[in-house]
Amino acid sequence: MEKITLKQAYKNYFDIGVAINPGVLEYGHELIKAEFSGITCENEMKPASVQPERNRFTFEKADMLADFAAENNLKIRGHTLVWHNQTGEWMYKDSNKNNLPKEILYSYMQEHIDTVVKRYAGKIYCWDVVNEAVSDIDGEYLREKSPYFEIAGSEEFIEKAFVYAHEADPGALLFYNDYDTENPEKREKIYKLLKSLKDKNIPVHGVGLQAHYDIYFDVGELQKSIDLFSSLGLIIHITELDVSVYKFDERGVDFETLPEDRLKTQTELYSQIFAVLRENKDKIGGVTFWGLDDKASWLNGFPVKRTNHPLLFGRDGKPKEAYGRVTGF
Ligand code: GLA
């Protein structure tokens, strides 16, 4: 039987993307081209990567990855414009480390968004405009420790970000992106934010579910998130999919070779996740894996150093059993 690749298997469903960086591209370009229909830059388009200091733009790596995508007919998701991490402090602090006045923050945000979005207009088809602004803390709505929130005092900075991005490229689809979107309390907060943006006619078109899951994840929660967010008329993207073989706070275990039971649980879960995604294909525009293969995954270093096995391709770059289940439905 002829081998079906991921993008072939899903061509009537949704785009299948992968987050890459220059190191992964060097050894993985053939696999990327064969299996995926799009890419996201893992770090290279984040604020700290493209504008480490005010008005010093460094686009070399981002351009290199964007050129690779263009040459090979791959779509590009832009990630990300406004985030409290991986952003130069100049964006929100003065030289004495005090928060900037609001008007200055907004003007710096606008300069950044305008420059980056216009550079890739027509190439990047969608942007994660704001990443992770909603709080994980019980009873706290937005992340109040973020300098953006400290300065803005409300969700206004989120609204501004979307407006600036839309002005810079009216053709791009604009997303709010977050993790733990399947946690019931956080899901409600994200819904509240998105509803409020929609009610104010802010140009937001989609929501990115990062989907950093582990093998104990309950797919029923994924269906609930898809239902709730799509009820607002938003497109759903799965933006950073991986399935850790450890519980987040599990310590004292580090499997170089994964025990059969965990491998089996992961294989089953991948199969279930994609069954849910296929059933919702009219609501889902794309599914992106956060890394090409197990050795390239950020989960080998986060939240602790351990050998993780979260993706469909193993350390040897070969497809795992889960790959067969995801492509052979
Ligand atoms: C978050 C961010 C991503 C990336 C991952 C870990 O989910 O959105 O850009 O940093 O964490 O790699």
The arithmetic mean of pLDDT across residues 217-240, rounded, is 98
Query: What whole-number distance in Å separates Cα of residue 29 and Cα of residue 286?
Result: 20
Please give the span between the terminal C-alpha atoms of the chain, in angstroms, as a whole number.
Answer: 14
Tens of pLDDT along 152-202? 999 999 999 999 999 999 999 999 999 999 999 999 999 999 999 999 999
Q: Calculate the average pLDDT of the chain.
A: 98
Look at residue 111 in the predicted model and tell me its pLDDT. Answer: 98
**Could you identify the atom of ligand 1 that is nearest to the CA of residue 42?**
9
Tens of pLDDT along 90-117? 999 999 999 999 999 999 999 999 999 9
Residues constituting the chain: 329
The CB density around residue 249, as the number of other CB atoms within 10 Å, is 7
Partners of residue 134 on adjacent β-strands: 142
Mutate to test the pocket of ligand 1, among 176, 240, 308, 311 (most ligand atoms within 8 A of CB): 240
Distances 65 to 41, 130, 200, 326 between C-alpha atoms, Å? 7, 21, 35, 27
Q: Which residues contact 292 (CB under 8 A, 6 or more apart)?
A: 18, 20, 24, 28, 31, 32, 311, 313
Percent of the chain with pLDDT over 90: 99
Contact yes or no for 55/108 (Cβ under 8 A): no
Residue with tokens 């943006």: 197
The finding on whether 240 has its CB within 6 A of some atom of ligand 1 is: yes
The finding on whether 214 has its CB within 6 A of some atom of ligand 1 is: no
Look at residue 157 in the predicted model and tell me its pLDDT. Answer: 98
Reply yes or no on whether the pLDDT at 2 is more than 70.
no
**Could you identify the atom of ligand 1 that is nearest to the CA of residue 290?**
12
The finding on whether 15 has its CB within 6 A of some atom of ligand 1 is: no
Look at residue 219 in the predicted model and tell me its pLDDT. Answer: 98
Structure tokens at 300: 């080998």
Q: What is the largest CA-CA distance in the chain?
A: 65
Structure tokens at 60: 């070399």
The finding on whether 210 has its CB within 6 A of some atom of ligand 1 is: yes
Query: What whole-number distance in Å separates Cα of residue 314 and Cα of residue 324?
Result: 13
Look at residue 3 in the predicted model and tell me its pLDDT. Answer: 79
Query: What whole-number distance in Å separates Cα of residue 108 and Cα of residue 172?
Result: 21
Structure tokens at 196: 């409020």
Q: Model-level pTM?
A: 0.97
Spacing, Cα 257 to ligand 1 middle (Å)? 25
The finding on whether 297 has its CB within 6 A of some atom of ligand 1 is: no
Mutate to test the pocket of ligand 1, among 43, 176, 244, 290 (most ligand atoms within 8 A of CB): 290
The arithmetic mean of pLDDT across residues 2-25, rounded, is 95
Reply yes or no on whether the pLDDT at 289 is more than 60.
yes
SS3 231: coil
The finding on whether 298 has its CB within 6 A of some atom of ligand 1 is: yes
The finding on whether 239 has its CB within 6 A of some atom of ligand 1 is: no
Reply yes or no on whether the pLDDT at 1 is more than 80.
no
Q: Which residues contact 57 (CB under 8 A, 6 or more apart)?
A: 50, 51, 115
Nearest CA to ligand 1 atom 6: 298
Catalytic positions, written as ranges: 132, 240
Mutate to test the pocket of ligand 1, among 83, 136, 177, 210 (most ligand atoms within 8 A of CB): 210
Reply yes or no on whether the pLDDT at 36 is more than 70.
yes
Q: Which of 201, 241, 215 is nearest to 18 (CA)?
A: 241
Reply yes or no on whether the pLDDT at 20 is more than 70.
yes
Look at residue 159 in the predicted model and tell me its pLDDT. Answer: 99
Contact yes or no for 126/175 (Cβ under 8 A): yes
Query: What whole-number distance in Å separates Cα of residue 73 and Cα of residue 182?
Result: 32
Q: Which residues contact 216 (CB under 8 A, 6 or more apart)?
A: 247, 265
